């Protein structure tokens, strides 16, 4: 990008940015003539991806700041008003806003609320930080047409974000996401109102208990065996960490109400946007759970639980026979929860006539094998929990199936339908009950997982990611995906690629016969999948919210009757595939 264009964009931003912190950042960069940094901040504007609007906090159109928040909210408000003309006309539009513990989250949340209020919406703003699943729940509870939660989920502390929701409590999907972007890009003037005026006119209402208490009750109502928990909770211990985020109030409340002893990691209990005890507040990564595991060993806890800053993701570690703790992957916990929900519904006579489980395309197909044996319909959707919510909405509309569980490999689970996003709070409650259920049968969660592997085969899953920052990185990722489409690998990990699934062009084909292409019944998305001989699937997907590309390995080894040998075979296969993927990334 030419220097003049960079300066033009930077100066235009300075004129519009109301927050002196972000405005000063850009002014200082101009004075220093730091065109490399300025280019990175202005070569593009943040757009809605699978998780909404997300970026590094700072001044610039390619950063998270009040300027971008205000424009995004004005565009969203305009789009919602056009989508609901009658409510817009009679002044009955509603919106609800929440935020997590990140730096500037409270500032961005209030800015969002005031833009909605200025556009005539009755706007609800939580009095303090609240988790993403509660925001989803609040939308339908309060009868809102939209909602926003300010969060960057599990990303490092330099990030923040903005998730936009529809009236059903689900994140926006096409055509609404692109429609909102069109409105954002068309914004010329942002309507404003002061907090004092918004409250005085009734356009802004500060809330907490009217949603908190029903949300807690809902989470507890999903359980199958509350009497088992009451009978066995005495002496059971849960070590929990909210990773400096929003989860403590809710997880502690719900589990304590059930009679469980919850020991929260004291150093990580209080909200802190700098996440001082972890490099990344991500329960998917072992270092984030290090302090919790150490405390669990000391307390001899039955399970370790963790939620990310906005408490939609849920991670666990479980005790092994030697006294150590094993971190379960998102797929493994998903398999355990799905298995427990299916067997509980069967045992208690609560299985609906046409039950359905929904998983994303990069989630382990082990779920498919278990569901197939039980005659339960399995639906595969795109990555992003909004697509699971879309499936729930379709089931409700057609009546063809009744949703009983949804999951994604990145530690996202939904055990209820009152929330239309992944929910770490209700997952924690269900996991607690499941742990006590298997304990009552003298089994650990690891014991049950090994039983499932012995029956259905050994499944191992890995993820490899590489960052490609800046404009040049974006081009590199684009070329990499293009090259993989035009010249897909013939083998990965020594296994022949027997099928290529191109989710962008919605076709699948065998590499040996590219002319015979079969249609794929999914929305278009920039994902490639390579199905290997034996059933292992390797997926390539650029992130919609971060400058990185991610490869997912979902391997499977048929049950041989020797689980030790099956595990060894799975490790060897995953190691070999990982080596090939790293070579592809190194050559990008």
**Residue 360: pLDDT above 90?**
yes
Give the CA radius of gyration of the chain.
24
Residue-wise pLDDT tens digits, 48-70: 655 578 999 999 999 999 999 99
Evaluate if residue 329 carries a pLDDT over 80: yes
CATH: 3.30.365.10, 3.30.390.30, 3.40.120.10, 3.40.50.720. Which one for 331-455?
3.40.120.10
CATH fold, domain 459-586, is TATA-Binding Protein (3.30.310)
Q: State residue 45's pLDDT score.
A: 87
Instruction: Please tell me the predicted confidence (pLDDT) of residue 378.
Output: 98
29 pLDDT above the threshold of 60: yes
Give the DSSP H/E element, type plus range, for residue 180: helix 176-185
Q: What CATH number belongs to 44-206? A: 3.40.120.10
Decide if 279 contacts 332 (C-beta within 8 A): no
Q: Which pLDDT score is estimated for 177?
A: 85
Residue 394 has pLDDT above 90, yes or no: yes
What's residue 181's pLDDT?
A: 84
pLDDT at residue 369 tops 60: yes
- The answer on pLDDT for 503 being more than 60 is yes
Long-range CB contacts for residues 211-214, cutoff 8 Å, separation at least 24: 211/126, 211/130, 211/134, 211/137, 211/138, 211/141, 211/142, 212/134, 214/137, 214/141
User: Which DSSP letter does residue 313 get?
Assistant: B
Residue 396: CB atoms within 10 A of its CB come to: 14
Give the model's confidence band at 488: pLDDT under 50 very low, under 70 low, under 90 confident, else very high: very high
Nearest Cα neighbor of 556 from 447, 461, 446 is 461
Identify the H or E element spanning 569. Answer: helix 563-586
Whether 544 has a pLDDT exceeding 60, the answer reads yes
Assess whether pLDDT exceeds 70 at residue 545.
Answer: no
Q: What is the DSSP letter of 2?
A: -
As a whole number, mean pLDDT of residues 234-246 equals 96
Instruction: Tell me how far CA of residue 539 lies from CA of 52, 65, 296, 367, 551, in angstroms.
Output: 22, 33, 35, 17, 5
Give the C-alpha separation, 7 to 15, whole Å: 12
Residue 330 CB neighbours (<10 A): 24
By percentage, how much of the chain surpasses pLDDT 70? 99
Give the pLDDT confidence of 109-127 residue by residue, as tens digits: 999 999 999 999 999 999 9
* DSSP assignment string, 214-278: HHHHHHHHT-S-HHHHHHH-TT-EEEEE-TTSSHHHHHHHHHHHTT-EEEE-GGGTS--TT-TT-
Q: Which residues neighbour 105 within 8 Å (Cβ) at sequence distance 6 or greater?
A: 99, 129, 150, 151, 160, 273
Q: How many CA atoms lie within 13 A of 463 on its CB side?
A: 19
Domain with CATH 3.30.310.50 in the chain: 459-586
Give the residue-averaged pLDDT of 182-188: 90
User: Where are the CATH 3.40.120.10 domain residues in the chain?
Assistant: 44-206, 215-325, 331-455
- Contact between residue 285 and residue 130 where contact means Cβ atoms under 8 Å apart: no
Taking the C-alpha atoms of residue 138 and residue 123, their distance in angstroms, rounded to an integer, is 12
Task: Give the model confidence (pLDDT) of 296-313 as tens digits.
Answer: 999 999 999 999 999 999
Q: Is the pLDDT of residue 90 over 60?
A: yes
Interacting residues of 69 by C-beta distance below 8 A, sequence separation 6+: 108, 111, 112, 115, 150, 162
Contact 580, 540 (CB under 8 A): no
Q: Distances from the Cα of 457 to the Cαs of 366, 497, 573, in angstroms?
A: 8, 21, 14
Q: Give the pLDDT confidence score for residue 469 in this predicted structure.
A: 87
Distance between CA atoms of 524 and 119, rounded to whole angstroms? 33
Q: Which residues are catalytic?
A: 153
Q: How confident is the model at residue 512 (pLDDT cuts 50, 70, 90)?
A: confident
CATH, domain range 215-325? 3.40.120.10
Per-residue pLDDT tens for 65-86?
A: 999 999 999 999 999 999 999 9
Q: Does residue 580 have a pLDDT over 80?
A: yes
């Amino acid at each position: 990008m030419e220097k003049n264009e960079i300066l033009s964009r930077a100066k235009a931003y300075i004129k519009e940015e109301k927050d002196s912190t972000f405005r000063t950042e850009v002014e200082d960069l101009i004075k220093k003539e730091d065109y490399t940094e300025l280019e990175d901040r202005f070569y593009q504007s943040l757009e809605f991806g699978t998780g909404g609007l997300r970026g590094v906090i700072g001044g610039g159109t390619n950063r998270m700041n009040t300027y971008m928040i205000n424009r995004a909210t004005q565009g969203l408000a305009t789009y919602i008003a056009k989508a609901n003309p009658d409510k817009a006309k009679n002044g009955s539009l509603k919106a609800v806003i929440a935020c997590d513990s990140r730096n500037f989250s409270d500032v961005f949340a209030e800015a969002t609320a005031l833009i909605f209020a200025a556009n005539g919406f009755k706007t609800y703003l939580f009095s303090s930080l609240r988790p993403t699943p509660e925001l989803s729940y609040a939308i339908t509870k309060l009868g809102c047409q939209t909602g926003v939660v300010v969060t960057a989920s599990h990303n490092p502390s330099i990030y923040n974000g903005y998730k936009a929701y529809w009236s059903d409590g689900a994140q926006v999907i096409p055509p609404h996401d692109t429609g909102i972007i069109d409105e954002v890009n068309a914004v010329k003037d942002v309507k404003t109102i002061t907090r004092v005026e918004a409250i005085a006119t009734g356009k802004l209402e500060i809330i907490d208990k009217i949603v908190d208490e029903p949300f807690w009750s809902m989470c507890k109502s999903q359980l199958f065996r509350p009497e088992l928990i009451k009978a066995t909770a005495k002496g059971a211990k849960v070590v929990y960490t909210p990773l400096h985020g929003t989860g403590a109030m809710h997880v502690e409340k719900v589990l304590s109400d059930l009679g469980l002893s919850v020991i929260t990691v004291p150093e990580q209990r209080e909200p802190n946007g700098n996440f001082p005890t972890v490099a990344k507040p991500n329960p998917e990564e072992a270092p984030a759970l290090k302090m919790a595991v150490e405390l669990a060993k000391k307390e001899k806890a039955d399970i370790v639980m963790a939620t990310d800053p906005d408490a939609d993701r849920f991670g666990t570690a479980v005790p092994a026979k030697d006294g150590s703790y094993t971190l379960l992957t998102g797929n493994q916990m998903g398999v355990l929860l799905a298995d427990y929900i299916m067997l509980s519904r069967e045992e208690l006579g609560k299985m609906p006539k046409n039950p359905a489980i929904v998983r994303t395309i990069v989630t382990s197909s082990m779920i498919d094998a278990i569901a197939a044996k039980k005659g339960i319909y399995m639906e595969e959707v795109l990555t992003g929990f909004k697509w699971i919510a879309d499936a729930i909405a379709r089931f409700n509309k057609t009546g063809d199936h009744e949703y009983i569980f949804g999951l994604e490999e990145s530690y996202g689970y939904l055990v209820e339908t009152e929330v239309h996003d992944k929910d770490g709070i209700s997952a924690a409650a269900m996991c607690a009950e499941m742990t006590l259920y298997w304990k009552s049968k003298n089994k650990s969660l690891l014991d049950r997982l090994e039983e499932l592997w012995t029956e259905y085969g050994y499944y191992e899953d890995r993820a490899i990611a590489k960052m490609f920052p800046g404009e040049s990185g974006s081009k590199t990722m684009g070329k990499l995906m293009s090259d993989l489409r035009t010249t897909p690998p013939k083998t990965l990990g020594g296994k022949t690629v027997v099928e290529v699934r191109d989710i962008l062009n919605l076709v699948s084909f065998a590499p040996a016969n590219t002319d015979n292409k079969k249609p794929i019944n999914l929305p278009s998305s920039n994902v490639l999948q390579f199905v290997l001989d034996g059933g292992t699937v390797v997926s390539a997907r650029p992130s919609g919210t971060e400058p990185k590309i991610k490869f997912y390995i979902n391997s499977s080894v048929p049950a041989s009757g020797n689980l030790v040998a099956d595990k060894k075979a799975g490790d060897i296969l995953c190691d070999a595939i990982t080596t090939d993927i790293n070579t592809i990334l190194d050559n990008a």
